Structure 1
Amino acid sequence: MFAAAGDRLIVHGNRVGQTIRDGEVLEVRRADGAPPYLVRWSDTGREALVFPGPDAEIHHFEHSTSALRCVQV
């Protein structure tokens, strides 16, 4: 898993009825884009250092001056 600042981390629930969490990747601690990531969760606004598991995915964003485009990998 690889991310960059500004990407979205989505964590799917691993039990029935568990909600999906998402947050913005604020900082990537390793130069190669691998975890851990500093994430601001959208549901609480809190920041946490996250080591995503197999139930997580990254939504990558290409940043340009004209538009913001989501690229899911």
Structure 2
Amino acid sequence: MRATVGDNIRLASRAVGMQERVGEIVEVRGADGAPPYLVRFSDGHETLVYPGPDCVIEAGAPAD
């Protein structure tokens, strides 16, 4: 899995009835875009994420 700052990460819910979480990658701590990633969610919470098979990386909007 590879990512860059500004990409979005989708974390599927592991429990029935819970929503998936989407956050923005604000820091890539691994070499060459590898995990772990510092992710900021819409509620302002930031956490270090080691993505598993339930995660999807989506390219962020291109810089102008």
> How far does the alpha carbon of each residue in 1:21-69 deviate from its partner, in whole angstroms, 9 at most, with x for none?
0100001012311110010011x2111111111111000125242xxxx
Kindly indicate whether structure 1 or structure 2 has the higher relative contact order, using CA contacts under 8 Å at least 6 residues apart: 2
User: After the TM superposition, which segments of 4 or more aligned residues of structure 1 sit over 6 Å from their partners?
Assistant: none
Q: Quote the RMSD (CA, aligned, Å).
A: 1.3
Stretches of structure 1 that go unaligned for 5 or more consecutive residues are 66-73
Report which of the two has the higher share of strand.
1
Q: How many residues align?
A: 64
Q: Normalized against structure 2, the TM-score is what?
A: 0.87
> Which entry has the higher C-alpha Rg, 1 or 2?
1
Report which of the two has the higher share of helix.
2
Q: Percent identity?
A: 50
Stretches of structure 2 that go unaligned for 5 or more consecutive residues are none
Q: Normalized against structure 1, the TM-score is what?
A: 0.78
